[in-house]
Amino acid sequence: METIELAIQVLDSGLRLTALLLFACLAGLFSERSGIFDIGLEGKLLGAAFAAGAGAAVTGSAWLGLLCGIGVSVVLSLMHGLASITFRGNQIISGVAINFLAAGMAILFGQAWFGRGGNTPSVTGAAKFNDISLPLVDTLNNVPVIGMLYRELISGHTILVYIAFAFVPLTWFILFRTRFGLRLRAVGECPEAVDTAGISVIWLRYRAVIICGILCGFGGAYLSISQNSFFVRDMSAGKGFVALAALIFARWMPFNALVSCLLFGILEASAIAFQGITIPGIGEIPVQFIQALPYILTVILLAGFVGKAVPPKAGGVPYVKER
Amino acid sequence: MNQDLPRWADMVLIPALNLAMALLMSGLVVIIIGENPIEAMKYLVYGSLGYGEGIGYTLYYATNFIFTGLAVAVAFHAGLFNIGGEGQAYVAGIGVAIACLWLDNTHWLIVFPLAIFGGAAFGALWAAIPGYLQAKRGSHIVITTIMFNFIASALLVYLLVNVMKVPGSMATETRSFEAGAHLPFMSDIFAWFGLKIEKSPLNLSFFLAIAASVAVWILIWKTKLGYAMRTLGFSSTAALYAGISPARIIIIAMSISGALAGLMAVNEIMGVQHRLLLGYTAGYGFVGIAVALMGRNHPVGIFFAAILFGMLYQGGAELAFEMPAITRDMIVVIQGMVILFTGAMDHMFRPTVARLLSFTRSQQEGA
């Protein structure tokens, strides 16, 4: 019984981590599918987390906090767009710059406005996304297994967790069932063709990075006013890069992204839960190894030892219209 | 429209404009916080250059940045973006620490070359793997080096918690080195000649950094290997036709880059900390990106950019002390602005400057 409870606990906290990774991973998916590499996911998460924490603390509304988070994240995205689409700069360098700017400014403004060493004030009640209990929890409670799974795993998350998972089919639909999605994918593979068809490459790519910003905004708000109740220094803790790894692992496909984010989320949750547990025949697995596993797996996958990850063809290359 | 800029404009004018833009935006941030940017600048400059100890600290930080800046630049010349200097320097700490822990009962003159070798070798190894993966397996070097930063950090935590820690101690660090593995501080070196300067962490590694700069200059512009690297960076097809093996050059360039980043550990571990500890790289590896961009990947430029960033780090500490509303994170913001404007938005001023220059030139020719 105890092991089952432990397993459910791990899965439950794994789901919470997955939600965060999903936001960032799908954000990156939109951007990279349009041919704009984005290693600034981390910075956008952090900037949005700060803005959401600050916004929620000042307005007392979690939804306004979310809006602030999205706003800041979109501004950072537009900066990335300006540098990499309009000025045709190096997308990697721009991403690095955004990570620095977000990390520095969050603490700087946090200290100037709230004077708590960069943290935002703790929020409660309506200023925070609270766990919601899904209907039928009590009815299903008596059903064995399903009742417990439903109560412990499916129910009792904040609304943002459900939104994160809902974004997966939505992303798939937008990318593979709409005209916009088709063009977006085309612009990441062969922008010349899109241009020849009389569609603006620039505007398409800007829309992609804006969507990326919106999704990162959700992710940041999830960090500071859903998972936690305030913003602290470096709270994104490299999750933006894990999301990037998950994106590569998913080979830039939405439903694969769900799988890879679940994998990495549960890996991390189990790393915390299984600290110091010995596995028969192998011995004790260091917790640091499990924490590094997403990165190691990504390296192995990228190297083509297991399957092959091929990024969008026009990724990282600024588009120069022929004259 | 003539996009070609004269050399002086490319090397001096554009970077100066970009830097001015970065400082202007940073000043704007200071104004938004409600402080006076001119005042802030004064504290920054005084804190970094106003007194002996401040200058010492500035040059100590600059030492780190020269190494990490050179590391980024060498890879850049071969057309590679090594974003993993942080991880390479971190892993290099192991190599430096092994040399120091092993022979710290002898003399620093014996330990020094071994520490250099250990740091360079471990850093090179940590960079060569992503290099190999890019060259032979086609993985993207940027992503792999990012991943290797995280793997390095997990590796160091593991080693310091489980292997290299002093038994029974809570602190996640190795034992402190004996005096035999302490590099002489600059104040000691001056004292040999009977001169007295204020104490600071600045140590012998500063000269190692200058030597590394000269070596990189020779490598890139005076050797066959450097020529091959630049050819590859310019065009991989051209390199291939010229009989240069891209895979080989990629791996070699990454190894050299990693070795340079690794030398940062000599300054930190053997020069200042005198033990291996968690998180000692403190983001210096990433600063290297800004330094290389600003220094235009040239050792001379990198030297001055490193000093500028050293001033920023040391002066920033002073600034945070004098103006509590501005925390040390201001440094990170300025760094971000520099990377953004000198790196990513480099093309912003280029067309305008090119047009202005060609306009004045045609005016002169017409007259």
DSSP bridge pairs for A131: A158
Q: Which whole number is the average pLDDT over B313-326?
A: 87
The residues near B340 (Cβ < 8 Å, ≥ 6 apart) are: A79, A83, A94, A97, A98, A101, B22
Q: Which of residues 113-132 of A touch B (CB under 8 A)?
A: 118
Q: Which whole number is the average pLDDT over A220-227?
A: 92
Q: Which two tokens stand for residue B353?
A: 């400057």
What is the pLDDT at residue B126? 96
Using an 8 Å CB-CB cutoff, list chain B residues near A245: 143, 147
DSSP bridge pairs for A132: A157
A30 touches chain B (CB under 8 A): no
**Average confidence score pLDDT of chain B:** 90
Q: Which two tokens stand for residue B198?
A: 């204020």
The answer to whether B354 touches B39, Cβ cutoff 8 Å, is no
Contact yes or no for B346 and A94 at CB 8 A: no
Which value, in Å, is the radius of gyration of the alpha carbons in chain A?
20
- Residues A77, A82, A83, A85, CA torsion sign: positive
* Helix, strand, coil content of chain A in percent (nearest 5): 70, 0, 30
Contact yes or no for B139 and A302 at CB 8 A: yes
Beta-strand relationship, A131-132 and A278-279: unpaired
B165 touches chain A (CB under 8 A): no
Helix (H, G, I), strand (E, B) or coil at A284: strand
DSSP bridge pairs for A158: A131
Beta-strand relationship, A283-284 and A278-279: antiparallel
Contact yes or no for A291 and B154 at CB 8 A: yes
Using an 8 Å CB-CB cutoff, list chain A residues near B29: 105, 108
Contact yes or no for A104 and B140 at CB 8 A: no
Helix (H, G, I), strand (E, B) or coil at A131: strand
Helix (H, G, I), strand (E, B) or coil at B165: coil
Write the residue in A93, A105, A298 that is nearest to B344 by C-beta.
Answer: A93
What is the pLDDT at residue A146? 76
The answer to whether B127 touches B250, Cβ cutoff 8 Å, is no
What is the pLDDT at residue A308? 66
**If pLDDT is split at 50, 70 and 90, which confidence band does B2 have?**
very low
What's the gap between Cα A172 and its chain centre?
16
Residue A283 scores a pLDDT above 80: no
B198: exposed, middle or buried (C-beta count within 10 Å: 0-12, 13-18, 19+)?
middle
Residue A204 scores a pLDDT above 90: yes
Least confident of B13-17, B145-149, B203-207: B13-17
Using an 8 Å CB-CB cutoff, list chain A residues near B146: 39, 241, 244
- Residues A144, A146, A150, A153, CA torsion sign: positive
Please give the full DSSP string across A140-209, using - where no structure is assigned: HTTSTTHHHHIIIIISSEEHHHHHHHHHHHHHHHHHHHSHHHHHHHHHHH-HHHHHHTT--HHHHHHHHH
Per-residue model confidence as pLDDT tens digits over A129-161: 888 877 777 777 777 777 777 777 788 888 999
A292 touches chain B (CB under 8 A): yes
**If pLDDT is split at 50, 70 and 90, which confidence band does B366 have?**
low
What is the pLDDT at residue A124? 83
Which run of H or of E encompasses B232?
helix B224-234
Using an 8 Å CB-CB cutoff, list chain B residues near A39: 83, 142, 146
Q: Which CATH code of 3.40.50, 1.10.3470, 3.10.10, 1.10.3860 fits the domain covering B12-350?
A: 1.10.3470
Residue B180 scores a pLDDT above 70: yes
What is the pLDDT at residue B196? 87
Closest C-alpha among B311, B272, B341, B274 to residue B65:
B311
**CA distance linking residue A44 with residue A59, whole number of Å:** 22
Most confident of A6-15, A223-232, B216-225: B216-225
Using an 8 Å CB-CB cutoff, list chain B residues near A99: 336
The residues near B342 (Cβ < 8 Å, ≥ 6 apart) are: B15, B18, B19, B22, B290, B293, B294
Q: Residue holding tokens 């603390």?
A: A57
DSSP bridge pairs for A157: A132
Which run of H or of E encompasses A278?
strand A278-279
Q: Which whole number is the average pLDDT over B114-127?
A: 96
Q: Which of residues 193-232 of B touch A (CB under 8 A)?
A: none
The residues spanned by each domain of chain A are: 2-129+139-302
Q: Which two tokens stand for residue A43?
A: 């910075």
**If pLDDT is split at 50, 70 and 90, which confidence band does A307 have?**
low
Q: Which two tokens stand for residue A59?
A: 């307005």
Which value, in Å, is the radius of gyration of the alpha carbons in chain B?
22
Residue A208 scores a pLDDT above 50: yes
Closest C-alpha among A151, A42, A15, A55 to residue A103:
A42
- Residues A245, A246, A247, A250, CA torsion sign: positive
Least confident of A138-142, B259-263, B362-366: B362-366
φ/ψ of A276, rounded to 5, equals 75, 10
A277: exposed, middle or buried (C-beta count within 10 Å: 0-12, 13-18, 19+)?
exposed
**If pLDDT is split at 50, 70 and 90, which confidence band does A24 have?**
very high
Q: Which whole-number Å values give the CA distances from B83 to A237, B197, B261, in the listed order?
A: 18, 37, 11
Contact yes or no for A104 and B336 at CB 8 A: yes
Per-residue model confidence as pLDDT tens digits over B10-27: 777 888 888 889 889 999
Closest C-alpha among B350, B91, B300, B56 to residue B197:
B56
Per-residue model confidence as pLDDT tens digits over A35-89: 999 999 999 999 999 999 999 999 989 999 999 999 999 999 999 999 999 888 8
Helix (H, G, I), strand (E, B) or coil at B277: strand
What is the pLDDT at residue A162? 93
Please tell me the class of the A2-129+139-302 domain: mainly alpha
**CA distance linking residue A110 with residue A123, whole number of Å:** 15
